[in-house]
Amino acid sequence: MWDRFFSCENPSFDSLETDKCRSIYSFWQSQCDGYDLPDCSHLKPSDIAGFLSSVMMVDVEVGSFTDYRLMYRGSDLEDITADLNITDSIFHKPQYSDFVSLFDWVRQQKKPYFFKGVLTNHKSSELHALVMPFKHGTDSVKRLLLIMDRVAVEEALSA
């Protein structure tokens, strides 16, 4: 799935390389408001209106196993996740096993996760992605917000 891959658990602001990732990370930090995690009930589409085309929202369902369901996908990401429909389970799609593993890490650690890489079927751009956890009432993670930003491969290699 990936030709090149780099990841960073619990990244700092300075380790993020694109303006989109930095801006949404700043937003996430401001939503924490002194707590470990922001509450997803406070997340309004108007708060992230400038990013909606580049985000995915995934709900976390905990039962006999943890499942992840796609709840929103921005238009810029349709070609990357074309085989996922809204409310589809990501857990049951083998081609998303990398995502399930990193979603598990974010859910368990309750920390953001940054990764970047060149997708095998999208060699013209490098994908920079940041996954941020949100709780709902309790301390458990109930929603994941992903921002995905594409950088031209030439630009990414010169950085």
Report the length, in residues, of the chain: 159
* pLDDT number for residue 64: 67
* pLDDT number for residue 7: 75
Q: How many domains would you assign to the chain? A: 1
* pLDDT number for residue 80: 76
Question: For the chain, what is the mean pLDDT?
Answer: 83
**pTM value?**
0.85
* pLDDT number for residue 122: 58
* pLDDT number for residue 87: 78
CA 33, CA 13: separation in Å to the nearest integer? 17
- Could you give the dihedral angle defined by the CA atoms of residues 14, 74, 105 and 141, in that order, rounded to the nearest 10 degrees? 100
Each of the 159 residues of the chain gets a pLDDT tens digit; together they read: 555 667 788 888 898 989 999 999 999 999 987 778 999 888 888 889 999 999 999 999 887 678 888 888 899 888 777 777 777 788 777 777 778 888 899 999 999 999 888 766 656 678 888 999 999 877 789 999 999 988 876 654 555
The model's pLDDT over 18-59, given as tens digits with 9 standing for 90+, comes to 999 999 999 999 998 777 899 988 888 888 999 999 999 999
* pLDDT number for residue 159: 54
* pLDDT number for residue 88: 79
Q: State which residues form the domain around 61.
A: 2-158
- Provide long-range contacts, Cβ within 8 A and 24+ apart, for 81-87: 81/56
CA 89, CA 70: separation in Å to the nearest integer? 7
Any idea what the CATH number is for the domain that residue 64 is in?
3.30.450.20
* pLDDT number for residue 153: 66
